[in-house]
Amino acid sequence: MNRVSIKITGAQGQGINSVGEMVAKGLKRAGYHLFGYREYMSLIKGGHSSYQLDIADSHIESSETKVDLLVCLNYIGLKRDLQDLKDGAILIHLIPGWKFSDDDKKLFEERKVTVLYLPMEKILKEMGSRPIVGNVLVTAVVWCLLGRDVNNVKDMIKEQFGHKGEKIVELNYKFVDRGKQYKDEEAGELEITLPAPDAKRKDDLLLTGSEAMGLGAIHAGVRMYCGYPMTPSSPLLKYIADNQNETGMVIKQAEDEITAMQMVSGAMFAGARALTATSGGGYDLMSETLSLNGITENPSVMVLAMRQGPSTGLPTWSGQGDMLLACFGSHGEYPRLVMSVSDTEDCFSLMPEAFNYAEEYQLPVTVLTDKHVAEGLYMQPQYNMKKAEMRRGKLITAQKELDKLKSSDRYDPSVEDGVSPRWLPGSKAATYCAQGDEHDAEGNVDETGPNAVLQMDKRMRKMESMKQNLPEPVSFVVESGKWKEERDPKDIDLLVVSWGSNKGAILDSLCELSACYLHYSYLWPLKTEKLMALASKAKKTIFVEATHQAQLAKLIKMETGFDFDHQILKYDGRPFFVDELSSQLLALSS
C-alpha cells in the first residue's frame, strides 16, 4: 500500500480541525482514499491536539506514526512532534524567531526535512484581518504543497461561508491567494506526491463513526434518543440532536445516565425504538437497568463508547477495556447480546441489527464502539437504503391474534426457544406485568423455587437460540497486495484475530503479510466454530486487542480452552498505527 500522511498540530481552539476537515473534504472530492485521525485532550482551550490525514492508493482505515507533512500552529508541536517526520518530509511552522536545537537541525539534515516558516502574524497584520482567517491561509498552503489546484479551496469556501455574504467570501479568497503566493515563493516546485486517486470514489461519504451510527440509528427506526453527555459518546448525541428538526425525533438530554437508560426502557416497553449511548462510567450507572430489562424481557439497545482506563482514565483517548464489563457487568444472570462496530460500514448496518436482535430475543443489547471509531474520519461508499430489514420477532399487533392472548402467554416458560409473545401497552388484549421481581407467566411475583428455575431456564434458553442465529465472525485474506473477504480461507500461515476498531490497522497491515484475519462483530454469546476451524489450519495464531488483559482471548479461552500463540496488546489510549502493528506482526510471524 502506497501511502502519505499529513498532520496538523496545535492548541485546542486554534482551528486545527477546520484546516483538517477542509483538506479532507477537498481530497475526498478528488477521489483520494483517506482516513482522518484526531488526538485531543480533555480541555477546551490550549493543550496539544492534532488532526492527521492518511492518504493511500486504495481503501484505508488506519494511520501511520510517521508523517510526510507536519504543520505546527504553535511551538508545542515543534518540541514534541519532530521525531514523527519521515525522510524527505516538509515541516511548516508559525512561530516567529523559533530557534531549533542542534539535535533538531541534525535530524532535519539526516532526514532531508524541508523547514518552512509561515509568518502568519505578519501576513494577518499586512492584510488587516482577524486571526480566524489564518486557518484559510494554512489550508491553502497545505493544499498547494499537496500539488492541488487552489481553486478547489475557493469552491469549498463558497460552499461553507456563502451564506455569510459576498464580503466574507472575498476576504477568504484573498487569503487563499496569499497562501498560494507563499507556497510559490517559499517552496517553489516542492510538493508532496499523493498516491493515485480513484475517480469512482468522488461521491463517497466522508464521515465519522458517530455520524454513521447516527444515520444507522435513524435508519433503524429509532424515534427517541435520550442521552447524557460523555466523551466519546457525545458526538452521537450531538449528531442525532442536531438533526431533530428534520427527523422529528423525540430528543431528551436527561439528568443522568440512569434516567437516559430508564427512559429508553420505558419507550421500548411502549413499543418505540429508542436509543441511548454513554461511556464506561455512564454504563456503570445504566447497568442496573440492563439487569431489569433482562428479567422483564424488555428489549433495549445502548451504545457503549469506550475510552481508555478505569474511572475518568484517559477520557479523550481510545481503548477496548469495557468488553468484559458489557458481557458480564450488572447483577444477576440474564441473557444479553454484546456486539461491536469497527468502521463506518457497520456503524450504519449493525444498528438495525442491534434493534432486530433486541426485539427478536427480547433482551438488552450493548453495541460497543470506541473513541477511535467514534471520531475517526472515514471514506464510505454511499449506504444502500434497501438492505436493512425490520425484525420484531414475536411482537403481536394484529387484533385477531391479540384477542387470543392470555396474560400468562407473556412469560410462558414452556416456549422452546425461550422467546414468548410480546404485545404493547394500549393493545386491546389481556394485560400483564413486566415484573422486576422473579415472576410467573403473567408477571405476578412468584418466589417459589421451581418457578425461579423455570423462568431462569426460559430466559437463558434465549442465549442458545440467539447464538444459533448470530453470524459467524468474518474472515479476510490478502490477494495481490489487497485484502478481501473470504468465506473459507485455505492454506493459512498466520491467523490474526481481533474485533472493533483494530480492524482498520490490521487489514491495512495485512497487505504487507500473507495472513488471514478473523474479525468478530458479535462478542457475546460467542461463536467459536469458525475460529477453531481456522486455528487448526494455521501455523501461528496472533490475538490483537487494545486492552491490558486480552479480554476477548480470555472469553475464547473460557468457551473453548484455546490459547493464542501470541498476543499484541496496547493500552496507552492510542489506536494501533499501521507501521507499528505491521512490524510487530512481521516479527511474530517469522
Partner 1 sequence: MSIPLHISGNSSVHDFYCATECTWCDGCGDYGIMAAAKRAMVELGIAPHDVCLAFDIGCHGNMSDKMLGYRFHGLHGRVLPLAAGMKLANPKLPVIAFGGDGASFSEGVNHLVHSIRSHYPITFILHNNANYGLTTGQASSLTWQNQPMNTSPNGIPEDTMRPMEFVFSLGPTFVARTWSGDIKQMTRVMKAAIQHRGFAFVDVLQACPTYNKFASHQWLLEKCYDVSDEGHDPSDLEAAKKIAFDTSERVSCGILYQTEDVPHFIERLVPRKDVKTTPVEETKITDVSALMKRFV
- Residues 322-361 binding partner 1 (CB under 8 A) are 352
Stretch that binds partner 1, among 136-144, 199-207, 494-502, 506-514 (CB under 8 A): 199-207
Say whether residue 249 binds partner 1 (CB under 8 A).
Answer: yes
Pick 115 or 240: Cβ nearer partner 1: 240
Q: How far is the CB of 140 from partner 1 (least distance, A)?
A: 23
Please tell me what DSSP assigns to residue 30. T
Say whether residue 433 binds partner 1 (CB under 8 A).
Answer: yes
Nearest to residue 28, comparing CAs of 16, 38, 37, 36?
A: 36
Q: What is the rounded distance in angstroms from the CA atom of residue 354 to the CA atom of residue 346?
A: 11
Stretch that binds partner 1, among 84-92, 126-134, 136-144, 441-449 (CB under 8 A): 441-449
Q: How far is the CB of 165 from partner 1 (least distance, A)?
A: 22
Candidates 193, 312, 397, 469; binder of partner 1 (CB under 8 A) is 397
- Residues 454-483 binding partner 1 (CB under 8 A) are none
Candidates 37, 143, 269, 576; binder of partner 1 (CB under 8 A) is 269
Dig out the grid coordinates for 164 from the structure: 455569510
Dig out the grid coordinates for 116 from the structure: 518552512
- The dihedrals phi and psi of 107, each to the nearest 5 degrees, come to -60, -45
Candidates 251, 456, 477, 569; binder of partner 1 (CB under 8 A) is 251
Strands 566-569 and 540-545: parallel
Q: What is the rounded distance in angstroms from the CA atom of residue 317 to the CA atom of residue 576?
A: 12
Residue with cell 473513541: 371
Task: Give the x/- contact pattern for partner 1 in 97-136, rule: CB under 8 A.
Answer: ----------------------------------------
Say whether residue 419 binds partner 1 (CB under 8 A).
Answer: no
Stretch that binds partner 1, among 43-51, 60-68, 284-292, 552-560 (CB under 8 A): 284-292
- Residues 526-565 binding partner 1 (CB under 8 A) are none
By CB under 8 A, how many residues form the interface with partner 1?
78
Say whether residue 264 binds partner 1 (CB under 8 A).
Answer: yes
Say whether residue 401 binds partner 1 (CB under 8 A).
Answer: no
Pick 287 or 369: Cβ nearer partner 1: 287
Pick 361 or 483: Cβ nearer partner 1: 361
Say whether residue 30 binds partner 1 (CB under 8 A).
Answer: no
Q: How far is the CB of 456 from partner 1 (least distance, A)?
A: 18
Residue with cell 480566524: 132
- Residues 218-247 binding partner 1 (CB under 8 A) are 218-224, 226, 243-247
Say whether residue 362 binds partner 1 (CB under 8 A).
Answer: no
Say whether residue 211 binds partner 1 (CB under 8 A).
Answer: yes
Pick 441 or 495: Cβ nearer partner 1: 441
Q: Specify the DSSP element, H or E, that contains 517.
A: strand 515-520
Nearest to residue 355, comparing CAs of 363, 344, 346?
A: 363
Q: What is the rounded distance in angstroms from the CA atom of residue 171 to the CA atom of residue 133?
A: 8
Q: What is the rounded distance in angstroms from the CA atom of residue 336 to the CA atom of residue 560?
A: 20
Q: How far is the CB of 46 from partner 1 (least distance, A)?
A: 30
Stretch that binds partner 1, among 151-159, 252-260, 490-498, 578-586 (CB under 8 A): 252-260
Say whether residue 296 binds partner 1 (CB under 8 A).
Answer: yes
Say whether residue 428 binds partner 1 (CB under 8 A).
Answer: yes
Candidates 91, 150, 156, 263; binder of partner 1 (CB under 8 A) is 263
Say whether residue 445 binds partner 1 (CB under 8 A).
Answer: yes
Q: What is the rounded distance in angstroms from the CA atom of residue 204 to the CA atom of residue 380?
A: 5
**Contact assessment for residue 422 and residue 410, using Cβ atoms and an 8 Å cutoff:** yes
Cβ burial, residue 96 (10 Å; 0-12/13-18/19+): exposed
Say whether residue 431 binds partner 1 (CB under 8 A).
Answer: yes
Say whether residue 389 binds partner 1 (CB under 8 A).
Answer: yes
**Contact assessment for residue 550 and residue 543, using Cβ atoms and an 8 Å cutoff:** yes
Beta bridge pairs of residue 439: 445
Q: What is the rounded distance in angstroms from the CA atom of residue 380 to the CA atom of residue 59?
A: 9
> What contacts 493, CB < 8 A, 6 or more positions away?
514, 515, 538, 539, 540, 589
Candidates 8, 140, 207, 531; binder of partner 1 (CB under 8 A) is 207
Nearest to residue 99, comparing CAs of 78, 73, 124?
A: 78
Please tell me what DSSP assigns to residue 407. G
58: how many CB neighbours lie within 10 A of its CB? 17
- The dihedrals phi and psi of 5, each to the nearest 5 degrees, come to -135, 145
Candidates 170, 288, 401, 491; binder of partner 1 (CB under 8 A) is 288
Say whether residue 256 binds partner 1 (CB under 8 A).
Answer: yes
Q: What is the rounded distance in angstroms from the CA atom of residue 268 to the CA atom of residue 246?
A: 22
